Amino acid sequence: MTKRTAGFVAVDVLLIVLMILPFAAGMVLKILLTPPTQGIEIAGALIYFTVKMPFMGDLPITESQTNSFFVVLSLLGLCLYLTHGITAKGGSRRQLMAEWIVEQSEKLVHTNMGAYFSGFAPFIAGMMGLSALSSLSSLMGLYPPTSDINIVGGWAILVFILITYYKCKCGPVQYLKSFAEPVAFLAPLNVISEVATPLSMAFRHYGNVLSGSVISVLIAAALAGLSNVLLGWLPGVLGEIPLLRIGIPAVLSLYFDIFSGLLQAFIFSMLTMLYVSGGFPADLYEKRKAKKAAKRKAVK
């Protein structure tokens, strides 16, 4: 084995550790900082500690914030691993996987947003990966960041800024005039609709993921009670084990934690593409661009 090969393998190992270690750290924090409870309890994200701030009150560092940071680190490790050793010839499985992700992201963006927004592919792929992995972190016993309205609300605000930016491509005057379309007296409703866009995106994503977690916990609690009623007569330790909870919650997790989490990531990304591209006045922008080019040409 050459030094180059040994170094390549060593970097691969480090990148794999970078993918796994954040989730391990999240599970350790969960075990060490979660207070003991009696039975099943449904609660929000834990507050690990509070940072004293000179103004605007104290800054709580919550379970959802730390888990979101861990997800970002794990995604970084995955991206570095897939692109490590990439060559022009290609051929390796990881490079084929990386190229497939890039091709599918570009195809999705081009289909839903058009050629003008081709540069959005990395953003959409990153958002989809962040959302999906955040929801799937619940499979490791972590509090999914997508179950916190503050996390998903931050994503929605970022999307709202992008929507407003592209709506203002034809100038702030044209943006303000768009609220009076098709008739002026609908302007208040258009303003409400504008504000409702990030709110609906945030609450849709947050509500669907959180409801799945709550339903899973309630079903697990119901199965434990039912097991005690039906099988509590068994002798010894067998009567104390909630046998009906074995396997059934795992099957439900296939939908609530996996399918629903991946579906919500796809829906959030699709809404982002549709809202950003739909709010961009492409025809007016091209006319304005052509008019500016004609003025510059006339001046020369």
pLDDT value, residue 2: 42
User: For residues 81-108, b (16+ Cβ closer than 10 Å) or e, as one string?
Assistant: bbebeeeeeeeeeebeebeebeeebbeb
pLDDT value, residue 4: 63
Contact 70, 25 (CB under 8 A): yes
Ranges in the chain, pLDDT < 70: 1-4, 37-43, 232-243, 247, 300
Q: Which two tokens stand for residue 286?
A: 């091209």
Alpha-carbon distances, residue 193 vs 80, 95, 279 (angstroms): 40, 43, 12
96 phi/psi in degrees, rounded to 5: -60, -40
Continuous segment of H or E residues that includes residue 23: helix 3-33
pLDDT value, residue 54: 82
232 phi/psi in degrees, rounded to 5: -65, -15
Q: Which residues contact 230 (CB under 8 A, 6 or more apart)?
A: 244
pLDDT value, residue 159: 93
Rounded distance between C-alpha atoms, residue 67 and residue 17, angstroms: 17
Alpha-carbon distances, residue 176 vs 156, 180, 183, 189, 287 (angstroms): 22, 8, 13, 13, 18
pLDDT value, residue 215: 79
**Cis geometry, peptide bond prior to residue 35 (ω within 30 degrees of 0):** no
**Chain centroid, CA 267 distance in Å:** 10
pLDDT value, residue 230: 73
Contact 99, 125 (CB under 8 A): no
